[in-house]
Homo-oligomer: A and B are copies of this chain.
Amino acid sequence: MYQNLPKKVTLIEVGPRDGFQFETKIVPTDLKVEIICGLMEAGVKHIQAVSFVHPKIVPQMADAEEVMRRIPKREDVVLSALVLNAKGLERARAAGLTHVEISVSASDTHSRKNTGMSLSRAIEQGQEMIRLAKTYGMQVRAGIQCAFGCVYEGQISDERILNMAEIFMKPGIDALCLADTTGMANPLSVKGLLKSLTEQLSILNSQFSIPVVLHLHDTRGLGLANAAAALECGVSHFDTALGGMGGCPFVVGAAGNIATEDTAYLMKSMNIEIGIDISKVSACSRRLEAFFAKMLPGKMFRLILKELEDYL
């Protein structure tokens, strides 16, 4: 039936970063810290807590240093940050971060529109940042945006992704993240790209040399179908956001990251160890839904009836 399923899956919570940054209503620092603490309490072991980006471009992240200062540090929880340039990396270092993600779009058009850099220049800068972060002794994750397609360029070839992965692996990254930024992946393309990576780069095998993380968006509703497909390829690390927060500037309405609660439920239903208390994450999502005064797209966090909770 299902071959090759991992016994255990790690969910990397990106709601406080990828979820919040999409919202125009500024989340008070207090609430950010409360949510992050709630997630740790729920058993989440890796949280991408902030991004260090220009406060004029992403006002939601203006308090990144303050958030990091106020989160009680726990030895069993990794806190990471997204950085997009050298300035951000320096800020992350100064804030005491030990884990950072650098992220480059696989689409030349998307890269130029978002960062003003061509694809080749962005890759070069990414590689420089990885080197620098490694000299700082940081754990570095390299993210490839639009790995499964781009609204401007359509499908991105597997060759380009493999090529970027190879370039980023040279300075020694600690994880590779494939991001389906606009929700264009499907079960076939997920399996296809992961197969190429496994066969041609030998970074995927029964014992991954480095973890491959899938960052999936549910823009077209295929998020968890894609996650299930990735499981069959042995992927055991997924980015998720509580309540399914996050979004896509091209889509009117709710369609964010795959929801932490729903993904955790999928894993549990397939007898995969996940170590997360879905009810506790749900409480955080309900808190945020009340704060933003709008419906979040996740499903599981709505199942609040006692009789249903028995099946979590």
Binding site for B on A (CB under 8 A): 1-2, 149, 151-152, 154, 183-184, 186-189, 191-192, 195, 218-222, 224-225, 227-229, 250-255, 259, 262, 265-266, 269-271, 295, 297-300, 302-305, 307-308, 310-311
Contact = CB atoms under 8 A, between A and B. Distances in A.
A311 B224 contact: no
How many copies altogether? Answer: 2
B259 A299 contact: no
Contacts of A151: 307-308, 311
Nearest to A265: B220
B186 A269 contact: yes
Contact of A187 (B192, B270, B300, B302): B270
B269 A188 contact: yes
B250 A299 contact: no
Contact of A221 (B1, B186, B259, B307): B259
Contact of A302 (B184, B186, B227, B255): B255
Between A218, A302, A307, the greatest number of chain B beta carbons within 10 A of the residue's beta carbon is seen for A302
A257 to B, nearest CB: 12
